[in-house]
Amino acid sequence: MKKFHAVAIDGPAGSGKSTIAKRLAKELGYVYVDTGAIYRTVGYYIWICGIGGRDGDGVRRLLDDVNVRIEYPGDGLQHMFLNGRDITEDIRTPEISSYASQVSAHKCVRDFLLDTQRDLAASHNVIMDGRDIGTVVLPDAEVKIFLTASPEVRARRRHSELQEKGCKDSYEKVLADMKQRDHQDSTRAIAPLRQAEDAVLLDTSEMDLEEAIAAAKSIILGKLETV
Ligand code: DC
């Protein structure tokens, strides 16, 4: 019998995965694992090395020099360390979003990060969010949610987040980048973004944050009751 429970939340950028997962992990006493941050860490390294994210050979060569460490120091944040340096804040730029999406399409990168994600779920109760958690990383997760919202709603949310951080990108640019990333993430050959057959679909286009959290919580508690 499995010792720990896993909640898998997959969905496109800006669907609210991390905000909802973070809040519910705290309420349930689970560890929140943001797998996008793990891909961003690799994307960040490839970016600072000046290699194109689509350059498969270049990316593969550089992976030998990448050491990714995840820490939960108790401030509610998942801290990402790249070769010993805390780069938690540095990976939250539109440029690194795009790099993360590009490098995550390479099999070598996905293989490189798979055990890191599975090891966390083997040693903690987790709410893990990403693109392929319910389909590939944790196919036996007790709860699977596919979270989505219309591209316009997701872009509006992401645009306000970026504005709060001082980023001047227009709403139109954020929407275009998001559509491009959705396309890239859902059409790649390996572990594309898609809803697992046994995942519950939750569309938050018409919901505010509290309604979305309540809806996700009710799905999670309902499923956990049956295991
Ligand atoms: O969740 P995010 O926006 O921080 O993710 C950044 C990119 O990382 C996303 O565009 C695709 C990739 N990713 C992935 O391929 N698989 C995951 N499980 C999580 C993220």
**Which 3 state secondary structure label does DSSP give 152?**
helix
Residue closest by Cα to atom 13 of ligand 1: 36
Residue 76: DSSP 8-state: S
Please provide the average confidence, as pLDDT, over all residues in the chain: 96
> CA-CA distance, 98 to 143, in Å (whole number)?
29
Tokens (6 digits) for 39: 């891909």
Q: Centre a 10 Å sphere on the Cβ of residue 158 and count the other Cβ atoms it contains.
A: 22
Which stretch of 71-75, 95-99, 121-125, 167-171 has the lowest confidence by average pLDDT? 71-75
Residue ranges of domains in the chain, CATH in brackets: 6-224 (3.40.50.300)
DSSP track, 5-26: -EEEEE--TTSSHHHHHHHHHH
Q: Is the CB of 134 under 6 A from ligand 1?
A: no
Region 208-216: mean pLDDT is: 96
Helices (H) and strands (E) in the chain, counts: 8, 8
Tokens (6 digits) for 216: 């996700």
Distance 99 CA to ligand 1 centre (A): 10
Q: Is the CB of 39 under 6 A from ligand 1?
A: yes
pLDDT over 70 at 1, yes or no? no
pLDDT over 80 at 2, yes or no? no
Model confidence pLDDT, tens digit, residues 168-186: 999 999 999 999 999 999 9
Cα 87 to chain centroid, rounded: 16
